[in-house]
């Protein structure tokens, strides 16, 4: 009986600590945000894990090149595994040492403090929110030059885009980033602890650095691209469903979101991100387009700054719904083991 009581007490503490860490990491991001990439020379930007990972990948990738395509694919897998291990293993060992060897209760406080900071760095909400709102305001004011200062976070060349195309680029990017910089890191933490969130950030950064079908990366990046597709396969589809629920909660066109998601999700080059992008297009009753590549949704209503704000509302409700789901997963996992 005493052993059972101890087990329940320990698990309850672990669960409460994990929930607090996830909540505080999100709150920390909402307050502090991320350093702006507009200022790449600033120390805080250079020290951000995503930037450090990107520079690490850029530096070691040349050592994994080979004139033989099959050999280069094998080396590409080693590149991916090396990068993931380089960041996940020190995270695990450091947090494990603190949790195991620090004085009782101090270990929990130190683990939680460091874990919250690391977890926050895998999540990006505030920076995107600020830039999306600024872009929406500029588009509604018909100030294309001002809008272009912010819309480049979509990683699309905005020089020749009109206001509607800039709004489309921002909404598409928000839909992709909802998975990569919010929901998947949260779920990775729920399942595998802080180490899982860091490992996911490494996987996603690998995909962003080398996961392209270009001559330079077609072989070294194939493993990273497919691994990112694999880990995001379920989250992207669940996200689309939650976005439809969010649209219903917000009294947007949830029925159309479901229709467009089913119809258009295969039109994008990504086998995953088409789901949330098509869902939000349907919910907003707009047409999203990447010129020369794909068109999602029907142009039932004009695409303007207000639609960016509508996409933000869908995103925010989806994050809340996903967070509640993560808590359920987190509790279930930590009843049986404590992932560092």
Residue with tokens 């219903």: 248
The confidence band for 65, taking pLDDT boundaries of 50, 70 and 90, is very high
Q: Which helix (H) or strand (E) holds 313?
A: helix 305-334
Per-residue pLDDT tens over the stretch 280-314: 999 999 999 988 889 999 999 999 999 999 999 99
The reported pLDDT for the residue numbered 264 is: 97
Which secondary structure element, helix H or strand E, spans residue 286, and what is its range? none
Neighbours of 237 (CB within 10 A): 15
Write out the two tokens for 24: 């505080």
Predicted TM-score (pTM) of the model is 0.93
The DSSP symbol for 124 reads -
At residue 123, the pLDDT reads 96
Residue 149 pLDDT level (bands cut at 50, 70, 90):
confident
Structure tokens at 308: 């960016």
**Residue-level pLDDT at 251:** 97
Indicate the burial class of 66 (C-beta count within 10 angstroms; 0-12, 13-18, 19 or more). middle
Per residue in 14-39, pLDDT tens? 899 999 999 999 999 999 999 888 77
- Read off the pLDDT band of 338 (50, 70, 90): confident
Q: Which residue has the higher pLDDT, 181 or 47?
A: 181
Model confidence at 46: pLDDT above 70: yes
Q: What percent of the chain has pLDDT over 70?
A: 94
Tokens coding 26: 């999100």
Task: Name the residue ranges covered by the structural domains of the chain.
Answer: 2-334
Q: Are 179 and 273 in contact (CB under 8 A)?
A: yes
Mean pLDDT of the 220-248 span? 96
Q: Token pair of 136, please?
A: 């929406």
The total number of residues written for the chain in this structure? 340
């Amino acid at each position: 009986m005493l052993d059972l009581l101890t087990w329940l007490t320990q698990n309850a503490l672990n669960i409460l600590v994990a929930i607090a860490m996830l909540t505080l990491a999100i709150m920390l991001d909402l307050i502090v945000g991320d350093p702006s990439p507009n200022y790449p020379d600033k120390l805080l930007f250079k020290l951000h894990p995503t930037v450090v990972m990107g520079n690490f990948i850029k530096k070691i990738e040349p050592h994994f090149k080979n004139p033989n395509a099959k050999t280069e694919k094998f080396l590409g897998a080693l590149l991916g595994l090396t990068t993931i291990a380089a960041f996940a293993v020190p995270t695990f060992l450091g947090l494990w040492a603190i949790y195991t060897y620090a004085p009782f209760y101090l270990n929990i406080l130190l683990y939680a403090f460091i874990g919250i900071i690391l977890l926050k760095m895998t999540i990006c909400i505030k920076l995107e929110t600020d830039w999306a709102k600024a872009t929406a305001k500029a588009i509604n004011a018909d100030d294309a030059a001002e809008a272009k200062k912010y819309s480049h976070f979509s990683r699309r060349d905005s020089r020749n885009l009109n206001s509607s195309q800039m709004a489309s680029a921002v909404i598409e990017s928000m839909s992709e980033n909802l998975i990569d910089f919010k929901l998947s890191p949260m779920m990775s933490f729920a399942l595998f602890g802080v180490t899982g969130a860091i490992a996911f950030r490494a996987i996603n950064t690998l995909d962003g650095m080398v996961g392209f079908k270009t001559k330079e990366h077609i072989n070294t990046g194939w493993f990273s691209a497919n691994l990112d597709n694999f880990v995001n396969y379920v989250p992207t589809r669940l996200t689309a469903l939650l976005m439809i629920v969010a649209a219903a909660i917000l009294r947007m066109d949830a029925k159309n979101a479901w229709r467009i998601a089913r119809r258009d999700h295969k039109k994008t080059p990504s086998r995953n991100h088409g789901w949330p992008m098509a869902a939000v297009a349907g919910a907003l009753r707009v047409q999203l387009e990447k010129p020369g590549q794909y068109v999602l949704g029907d142009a039932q209503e004009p695409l303007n700054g207000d639609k960016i704000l509508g996409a933000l509302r869908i995103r925010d409700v989806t994050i809340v719904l996903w967070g509640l789901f993560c808590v359920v997963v987190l509790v279930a996992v930590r009843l049986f083991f404590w992932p560092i």
